[in-house]
C-alpha cells in the first residue's frame, strides 16, 4: 500500500512538473505584448529595451569599453555645446522615431536654439545621434542598417557611428532626399572640421588613449 501511494505521488508530482514546464515553454515562445510609444516612454527608468513595430526588444548589453566611449562623446559634445546653449545627453533619452518605433541612441545632441521637452517621449529629432558599435553582428546590423534608415526618416541631421574594433569614426549627413551621405571618415588624429559643428574638435588619439588604458596595468 505504501509503495503504491509513493508511486502515485511521484506520478502526480511528475505530471505537475510537466505542466509547469509546458506553461513556461508557452510563455517563452509567446510574443511580447504590443505597446504604444507613450506606454514605452512611461516604462520605469530601469526597464531596458527599445520599441520595434510596437514590441519591446532587448537592447545591447554594453561592455565597459562601450560606456567609456559614450561618456567621452557626451563630455566632448557637452563641453562644446553648453556655452553655446545646446545640449548633449547619454543613452536613456527616448525618441519616437516612428508611429510604433522608439529608439535610444548611445548619445544625442541638440544645437543652440533647439531643445527637447523636459519630460516624456521626444518626438522632435536631435541634431546628432551617436551609436557605438558592439562586437556582435546583430548589433552592428541594427546600428548600420535599421537605425540608419529610422534616423534618416525621423530627420536626424547627423548620424555618427564609431566602431571600436576598427577604430573608425564615420559621420553621415542627411541629404535632401532623406538619405544619409557619408560626410567624414577618420581613424586617428585631431578632427578639426566636424561637419555641422563649427568650433568643435575631436581628438581621436586622446579617445584611443582612454580606451587603451582599460587594458593596461593599474599603477
For 71-101, write each residue's pLDDT tens digit: 999 999 999 999 999 999 998 899 999 988 9
Q: Is the pTM above the cut of 0.85? A: no
In CATH terms, the superfamily for domain 63-213 is: tt1808, chain A (3.90.1570.10)
CA distances from residue 109 to 4, 76, 83, 93, 124 in whole angstroms, order as listed: 72, 11, 14, 11, 12
SS3 87: strand
Alpha-carbon distance of 160 to 147, in angstroms, equals: 11
Cβ atoms of 81 and 112 within 8 Å: the answer is yes
Q: Which of 29-33, 97-101, 171-175 has the highest mean predicted lDDT (pLDDT)?
A: 171-175
What pLDDT is recorded for position 188?
Answer: 97
Are the C-beta atoms of 125 and 159 separated by less than 8 Å? no
3-class SS of residue 138 = helix
Amino acid at each position: 500500500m505504501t509503495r503504491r501511494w509513493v508511486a502515485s505521488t511521484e506520478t502526480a508530482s511528475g505530471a505537475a512538473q510537466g505542466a509547469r514546464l509546458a506553461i513556461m515553454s508557452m510563455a517563452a515562445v509567446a510574443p511580447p505584448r504590443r505597446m504604444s510609444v507613450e506606454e514605452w516612454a512611461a516604462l520605469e527608468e530601469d526597464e531596458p529595451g527599445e520599441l520595434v513595430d510596437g514590441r519591446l526588444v532587448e537592447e545591447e548589453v554594453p561592455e565597459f569599453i562601450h560606456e567609456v566611449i559614450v561618456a567621452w562623446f557626451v563630455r566632448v559634445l557637452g563641453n562644446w555645446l553648453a556655452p553655446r546653449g545646446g545640449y548633449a545627453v547619454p543613452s536613456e533619452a527616448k525618441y519616437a522615431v516612428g508611429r510604433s518605433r522608439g529608439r535610444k541612441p548611445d548619445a544625442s545632441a541638440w544645437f543652440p536654439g533647439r531643445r527637447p521637452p523636459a519630460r516624456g517621449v521626444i518626438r522632435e529629432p536631435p541634431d546628432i545621434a551617436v551609436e557605438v558599435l558592439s562586437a556582435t553582428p546583430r548589433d552592428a546590423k541594427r546600428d548600420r542598417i535599421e537605425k540608419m534608415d529610422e534616423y534618416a526618416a525621423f530627420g536626424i541631421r547627423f548620424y555618427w557611428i564609431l566602431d571600436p574594433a576598427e577604430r573608425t569614426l564615420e559621420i553621415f549627413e542627411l541629404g535632401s532626399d532623406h538619405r544619409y551621405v557619408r560626410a567624414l571618415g577618420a581613424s586617428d588624429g585631431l578632427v578639426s572640421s566636424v561637419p555641422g559643428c563649427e568650433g568643435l574638435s575631436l581628438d581621436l588619439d586622446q579617445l584611443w588613449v582612454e580606451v587603451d588604458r582599460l587594458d593596461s596595468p593599474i599603477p
